[in-house]
Amino acid sequence: MTNYAGKMPDSQFVSLISTAPFASGSAREVFDVPSDPSVVIKRGRNIYPGSNMVEWIIWSAIKTSPLAATFGECRSISETGQYLMMERLDDLAQSDLADIPRIPVWTNDRKPNAFGKAGGRIKLRDYGMVYLPDLLRLDCEPAAIQITALNNRQRGLPGW
């Protein structure tokens, strides 16, 4: 397995992918990486690479949390976000469907083909569509934040 980390130029992604996608959806196409069968590259179909950016941001936020075991690992993103490299998760067999893990309520794509399997572990491989109010926890109590900042200022500490 090659070590890819952080951002890479779009041209580097183009040089890694196979000639034709092996899968596609409404927002992206998925390519094999002949030099590294442990990863795939997702290329956005649109000018705005929203799904790739969302997956990269989510993975960056959860990679050291217990949720990481349930999500496909993002390895690298292109400078424009048009390309995203993720661990390869193969299609599930019919017998795997009963073992699909529970996923957070903010994930929108809950159909079986959004999941894949690697090393015996089933993970979500398509999480580029989310329900933002649940993801961002917009129902949290804003007064607690205001009280904390006010308390800090009153105690002579830096506030916001």
User: 49: Cβ–Cβ under 8 A, 6 or more apart, which residues?
Assistant: 80, 81, 82, 84
Q: 123, 115 in Cβ contact below 8 A? A: yes
Closest residue by Cα to residue 71 from 132, 122, 137, 3: 122
Q: Which domains does the chain have, with CATH numbers?
A: 7-129 (1.10.510.10)
How confident is the model at residue 158, as a pLDDT? 59
Query: Could you tell me the pTM of the whole model?
Result: 0.81
Which tokens sit at 13?
Answer: 């992604």
**Segment 87-112, tens digit of pLDDT:** 999 999 999 999 999 898 888 888 88
